[in-house]
């Protein structure tokens, strides 16, 4: 029996498949550098984890360990990363990348080029200019290298781009229509700040921009996503077409700790 017989190839194509499934997906951003947190999210029943390497503090080695934890515990994983880290994050075995601050279709198309490998004449499918190395975890340290790895990577790795400015809102449909873009995710906090509303994304102008974006992405046939911190927010955004929802591990943990501390004080009267 080979490793692939057991379904534990480092690249996990389920994330991209889920984005096109039509189903509602619920997951979390995790900026804590802890493989144990990833496993806890899997065992809790979330649909995915996004490792937050834009605002989190994990280095690439820890990121690779968290990707291992996700693969071992069976939860699809994405990495929100800065553009200078794209190549090494892919080589670490990320099956989905989430890129912040994508404002134009041209920017989105350039990202596709950086994620897809070039293909030889006669091979079908999207292709790009990603540098090739088969010694990385993504290729099983050489066990799964060669043309099969190239094809698997081009077909399985998902690209999620983030809309976080008024310019991106205006270009949402064109961004979503770029071949190779699989999901467009609205970052409501940055969008609110860029619109002069600080962190108040419940303000009517910000909500109108969110509605416009989610509907535009859905109309193109791509998966619309957004941060949703309550069931009420999720239902509102679902009515506008969103299917991919995320909260944050830090928010959930802090809320649970606060409730536990408050409950103890109330019970013991101090």
Separation between Cα atoms, residue 116 and residue 136, nearest integer Å = 16
- Return the CA Rg of the chain: 19
CB 186 within 8 A of CB 226: yes
Q: Determine which helix (DSSP H) or strand (DSSP E) holds 108, and give its type and residue range.
A: helix 105-115
Separation between Cα atoms, residue 23 and residue 268, nearest integer Å = 45
What does each C-alpha distance from 102 to 115, 168, 224 come to in angstroms?
Answer: 15, 7, 14
User: Residues 6 or more apart from 114 whose CB is under 8 A from it?
Assistant: 83, 86, 87, 128, 129, 130
CB 139 within 8 A of CB 133: yes
User: Residues 6 or more apart from 163 whose CB is under 8 A from it?
Assistant: 102, 169, 172, 175, 184, 185, 186, 187, 191, 213
SS3 content of the chain, % helix, strand, coil (to 5): 50, 15, 35
Q: End-to-end CA distance of the chain, in Å?
A: 61
Task: Check if 55 is active-site.
Answer: yes
Tell me which of 9, 55, 65, 149 is the catalytic residue.
55
Separation between Cα atoms, residue 56 and residue 152, nearest integer Å = 29
Q: Which residues are catalytic?
A: 55
């Amino acid at each position: 029996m080979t490793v692939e017989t057991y379904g534990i190839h480092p690249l996990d194509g389920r994330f991209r498949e889920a984005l096109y499934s039509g189903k509602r997906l619920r997951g979390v951003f995790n900026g804590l550098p802890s493989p144990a947190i990833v496993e806890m999210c899997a065992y809790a029943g979330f649909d995915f984890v996004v490792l937050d390497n834009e605002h989190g503090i994990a280095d690439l080695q820890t990121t690779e360990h968290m990707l291992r934890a996700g693969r071992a515990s069976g939860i699809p994983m994405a990495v929100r990363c800065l553009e200078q880290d794209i190549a090494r994050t892919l080589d670490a075995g990320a099956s989905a990348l989430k890129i912040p601050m994508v404002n134009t279709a041209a920017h989105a198309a350039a990202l596709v080029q950086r994620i897809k490998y070039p293909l030889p004449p006669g091979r079908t499918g999207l292709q790009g200019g990603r540098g090739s190395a088969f010694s990385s975890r993504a290729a099983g340290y050489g066990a799964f290298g060669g043309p099969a790895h190239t094809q698997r990577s081009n077909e399985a790795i998902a690209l999620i781009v983030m809309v976080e400015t008024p310019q991106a809102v205006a270009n949402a449909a064109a961004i979503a229509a770029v071949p190779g873009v699989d999901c467009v995710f609205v970052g409501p906090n940055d969008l609110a700040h860029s619109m002069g509303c600080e962190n108040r994304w419940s303000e009517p102008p910000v909500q109108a921009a969110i509605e416009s974006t989610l509907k535009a992405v859905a109309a193109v046939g791509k998966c619309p996503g957004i941060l949703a911190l309550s069931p009420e927010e999720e239902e509102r955004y679902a009515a506008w077409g969103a299917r991919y929802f995320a909260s944050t591990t830090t928010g959930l943990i802090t809320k649970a700790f606060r409730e536990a501390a408050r409950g103890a004080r109330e019970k013991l009267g101090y």
